[in-house]
Amino acid sequence: NKNSQMFDGNLIFEVARLSKKNTQICTFSSASFLQKKLKKYGFRVEKTKGFRKREMIKAYLENELEFKDKEAYFSRTFSSLKNKKVAIIGAGISSAVLAYELSLRGFKIDVFEKHLELGKGASGNESGILSSLILKPKVNLGEFSELSFIEASRFYRQILDLKFKGVVEFAHNDLMQERFDTQRENVLFKISKNQAFLEEGGVIFPKNLVKNLFEKSKACIYFNHEFQAYKFENECFTLKFKNDIVKSDYAVLIYAMGADTKDFVFYDEMKLSKVRGQVTHLKPFLNTPFPLSSKAYICPVKDDLQVIGASYDRLDTSLESKEEDDKQNIENIAEFIDKNTKLEIIGSKVGFRSYSSDRFMIVGNAYDEVFYKEEYKALLWTKNKEQKLAKMSCNLYFNFAHGSRGFSTSVLAARYLCALINNEPLCLEKKYIHAIHPARFLIRKLKKGL
């Protein structure tokens, strides 16, 4: 008899919490313990004639459950939109996936890009890798990376008909080997010794991928539009760009400008990093069907060049390629090649990644910092008590800090934002919503009484 496992008290509570008044529940089970639990959480229970059995239950919710939320500062607030016009600042991968998902919901999307064409930022490399972090089990960041990777792989295969052959990750130090050892039972990674084979991943071609998604979204892209500021009046945004360009009448504004976000978002506790990365273009030197990732990565050959990379520098803001970075990239792939291999550099590209201080992306509604600081200032003493529902800041949304995994995380980010904007059921577990919430840094500080 599985009834006691199927209908535990927490399940009935959650059903009641998510139900409106007069919600009807029908079940073939007529067990007395189930009837008692339904009544406990506000349902009126009736027995009726069963289907090929004596009795079954119908239950009706008489009063909506009063839910005391101890983490209401992370709760969603339902949106109210004057129209279906959306403005997205930035034209990288996070913007492209989001534009596509919004288009499925009937929104009119305008995308504003400061450059003269696509592919000038971090989403414009010739080749890249779709892969996942490999961390120890039950680490939120690692589990979220795995989930993002699976969803992204499925998305690109279904929407863009991409064919993935897999990617090989190598443990190149003791810490990584320890992580690999703890994940040997994880079917996603297929680990053998110091190697993990992720068959759902593989090489991607970012420039083409972003271009194709924007085409499918039918978004209107405005190039040479460098965003400066916005006004929110009468439930709509008016956007100001360099050279006195003004665009107006948008119900929703979304920041998806990657590393440039650091110049537009100024919450006290939100620490953003702008990290320079340089990839190196080499004449083909290694015939591999899979991307190889260790200290550095090697992509399969594409159009008579092979991409390796990438450098990592938090302090350097130069857009110019540097010879020393190319040399470092080559040194970092030494384990994959014979020492006598002749390598010919034919080019390189610089991009900037956006990181948060905890490595999770920052995705969700902009919040009212003044309200948060006042309403939740006593969290050190009240964190285990019911909290007042959060107050957000107009229909401004964030989609940034994807780090070097944007081609994985952008899919879940887009679907989550669409659920918020379009008042749909949320597609993420609560623990992940809390992990990516823009206000998480402030809440952590307030809980410590700082």
From the CB of residue 218, how many other CB atoms can be counted at a distance below 10 Å?
A: 11
> Comparing 357 with 48, which gets the higher pLDDT?
357
Residue 91 has pLDDT above 60, yes or no: yes
pLDDT class of 55 with cuts at 50, 70, 90:
confident
Residue 316 within a domain:
yes
Residues 352 and 276 in one domain: yes
Give the DSSP per-residue string, 315-332.
S----S--HHHHHHHHHH
Computed over every residue of the chain, the mean pLDDT equals: 93
Residue 245 within a domain:
yes
Q: Record the pTM.
A: 0.90
Residue at a domain's end among 356, 382, 415: 356
Residues 251 and 382 in one domain: yes
**Per-residue pLDDT reduced to its tens digit, 177-234:** 999 999 999 999 999 999 999 999 999 999 999 999 999 999 999 999 999 999 999 9
**Per-residue pLDDT reduced to its tens digit, 121-147:** 888 899 999 999 999 999 999 999 999
What is d(CA 159, CA 252) in angstroms, rounded to the nearest whole number?
25
Beta-bridged to residue 58, according to DSSP, are: 26, 46
Note down the domain range covering 258: 79-118+210-270+360-447
pLDDT of residue 2: 60
pLDDT of residue 29: 82
Highest mean pLDDT among 69-73, 280-284, 385-389: 280-284
pLDDT class of 367 with cuts at 50, 70, 90:
very high
**Per-residue pLDDT reduced to its tens digit, 298-336:** 999 999 999 998 999 999 999 999 999 999 999 999 999
CA of 400: how far to CAs of 89, 145, 186, 288, 447, in Å? Answer: 11, 15, 29, 32, 25
Residue 154 within a domain:
no
CATH of the domain at 337: 3.30.9.10
Quote the number of domains for the chain. Answer: 3
pLDDT class of 241 with cuts at 50, 70, 90:
very high
pLDDT class of 49 with cuts at 50, 70, 90:
confident
What is d(CA 80, CA 78) in angstroms, rounded to the nearest whole number?
7
Residues 113 and 233 in one domain: yes
Strands (E), 119-188: 128-130, 167-170
Residue indicated by tokens 């390629």: 321
Residue 181 within a domain:
no
